[in-house]
C-alpha cells in the first residue's frame, strides 16, 4: 500500500521535530551525549530516535483536519507512553505550552486549528520538512 502525501509529510515532520528537540536539549545539557531529549509532559529523558514520538498539543482532530497539524509550535518530543498510552497528557501539555510560548501563542494555535487548512499543501510541506531535516543533520 502506497503512502499518502500526508503520511509522507508527517514522517519528515516527525523526524525533524524530534531532531530539533534533541539539538535543543543538547545545547542546554552539553555534558549529556547527543541523542537524548526530554519528554515535554513527563520530563523523562529518552532517546530521540527510539523511544520518542513527535506529540501534538492540539491533536489532528476529527477526520485529521486540524489546521495546526504541521505547525512546529504545536509539536514536541514526547515519550511514547505519554503520547500513546496517556492520550498526550493534555493538562500537562497545556502547562508546558504556556511556559514555553505563553497564552498568546496557545490562543493563536487554538484559533488556527479551526480556521486554517493544509489541504492542497501537503506535498510541499513534506518536501519542506525533508529539506529542513537534512539541514539540521
**Res 29: pLDDT:** 96
pLDDT-derived band at 64 (thresholds 50, 70, 90) equals low
In a domain, 136, yes or no: no
For residue 34, pLDDT beyond 80: yes
The rounded mean pLDDT for the chain is: 91
The answer to pTM > 0.85 is yes
| Domain that residue 71 falls in | 5-130
Decide the pairing of beta strands 45-47 and 36-38.
Answer: antiparallel
In a domain, 25, yes or no: yes
Q: Give the pLDDT mean for 64-82.
A: 91
pLDDT-derived band at 25 (thresholds 50, 70, 90) equals very high
Phi then psi for 54, rounded to 5 degrees? -100, 100
In a domain, 98, yes or no: yes
If residue 76 lies in a helix (H) or strand (E), which one and from where to where?
Answer: strand 75-79
Amino acid at each position: 500500500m502506497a503512502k499518502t502525501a500526508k503520511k509522507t509529510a508527517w514522517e519528515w515532520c516527525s523526524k525533524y521535530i524530534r531532531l530539533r528537540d534533541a539539538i535543543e536539549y543538547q545545547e542546554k545539557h552539553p555534558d549529556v551525549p547527543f541523542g537524548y531529549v526530554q519528554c515535554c509532559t513527563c520530563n523523562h529523558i529518552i532517546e530521540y530516535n527510539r523511544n520518542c514520538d513527535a506529540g501534538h498539543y492540539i491533536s489532528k482532530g476529527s477526520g485529521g483536519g486540524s489546521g495546526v497539524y504541521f505547525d512546529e509550535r504545536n509539536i514536541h518530543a514526547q515519550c511514547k507512553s505519554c503520547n500513546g498510552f496517556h492520550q498526550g497528557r493534555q493538562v500537562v501539555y497545556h502547562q508546558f505550552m504556556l511556559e514555553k510560548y505563553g497564552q498568546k501563542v496557545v490562543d493563536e494555535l487554538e484559533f488556527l486549528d479551526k480556521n486554517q487548512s493544509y489541504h492542497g499543501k501537503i506535498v510541499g510541506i513534506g518536501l519542506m520538512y525533508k529539506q529542513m531535516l537534512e539541514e539540521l543533520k
